[in-house]
Amino acid sequence: MTMIADVLLISGALAAGFYCYILSRRLRRFTDLEKGVGGAVAVLSVQVDDLTKTLTQAQRTAKSSVDTLDSVSTRAEAAGQRLELLVASLHDLPEPAAPKQAESPFFVRRPAGPEGNQ
């Protein structure tokens, strides 16, 4: 009976050792930096760093664009105010006189009257 118990104990230990060997191989593949989850984590980490840099650059560019747009908007408002002032001042000008007809040197005008109609 002890012999059977020893054989069962040895076979159980061998099965547990084989199971541990299989698990260690799977764990090694799982944490492999090129193919496993470790590689995926490494790639994601690099991508997060790249996205952070891109986001920072985009924020700087957006701030620069906002500053430029603000200055252009301020200049446009000032120009609009000047144009309104100029248009308002045009309403204060007198009406232009009717243009005179240029007299031709070939025709002489005589005053109308009894002596002028011959």
pLDDT in tens, 62-104: 999 999 999 999 999 999 999 999 988 887 777 777 666 666 6
pTM of the model: 0.45
Q: Which of 29-43, 52-66, 76-90, 95-109 has the lowest mean pLDDT?
A: 95-109
pLDDT given for residue 117 in this prediction? 54
Q: Rounded to the nearest 5°, which phi and psi values hold at 95?
A: -65, 140
Mention every residue, 6+ apart, whose C-beta is less than 8 A from residue 39: 32, 33
